Amino acid sequence: MVLAAGFTFIMVPVIVELMHSLRARVELGEKSVKMTLPSGRGATPVVRYATHDIPYDQIQAVETRREIYGGSVAPVPLKGARLILKDESKVPLGYVSEANTDPCLPFLEIARQIAERAGLSVNDRGNVRRSVQKKFFGFKNVIVDEEEGPVEEAEIEALNKSHHRWVMRLIGLLGVLVVLGIALDIIFPPSSGLPPALTSLKTYVIPADTTPGN
């Protein structure tokens, strides 16, 4: 049962990404753009998709925005793009990770080409911090407090530096653990069928009985 649950947990994202690769399409025609893209609110693909055929003359604006999720330990910056139609409806194109230099669907470039065909310029709305709980799960009342609102470039730079420090600390901690494990195996060589680390711990905590006759 546990293995089945674990396998399902691993395979669900794989199936979602496979469906996204098979269904997601953007066709830039002469007079309109035809799109089949996820219809959810989040930055990751979902099962539900929506198809649009939008004439270029019905597009009022093309917008991009950087959204930042998480904190200083593991910030996740995503750049998103969307279309604003003349009836005030909004059509999201999608998100790309700034760490991904070759996305399957380069939405920022797609947004630029749509704006060019519609005779518009891309409106960059800056940076904003978003709540994972509200954006992805639709919670109105968050369980864990998260900062939200506009973010300045200086704050993003400070966030990246803080993240770098946390990563270096984690690497240092892992290095110490590796060295400690090697040292324990050298000081207490394994003499049983247990893994070396457990054998070393057992030898240190429960010393062998050296009483004569035993």
Same domain, 48 and 141: yes
Flag whether 171 is in a domain: yes
Same domain, 33 and 135: yes
Same domain, 141 and 188: no
pLDDT in tens, 58-82: 999 999 988 887 666 677 788 889 9
Task: Give the model's pLDDT for residue 177.
Answer: 92
- Domain of residue 196: give its range: 164-205
Same domain, 39 and 117: yes
Flag whether 210 is in a domain: no
pTM: 0.61
Residue with tokens 């539900």, as numbered in its chain: 48
Based on C-alpha coordinates, what's the Rg of the chain? 26
Same domain, 19 and 116: yes
Q: What is the mean pLDDT of residues 44-48?
A: 64
In the structure, what pLDDT confidence band is assigned to residue 4 with cuts at 50, 70 and 90? confident
Same domain, 32 and 132: yes
Flag whether 60 is in a domain: yes
Distance, first Cα to last Cα, the chain: 45
pLDDT in tens, 126-177: 888 766 555 554 445 544 444 555 667 777 777 778 878 888 999 999 999 9
Residue 37 has pLDDT above 70, yes or no: yes
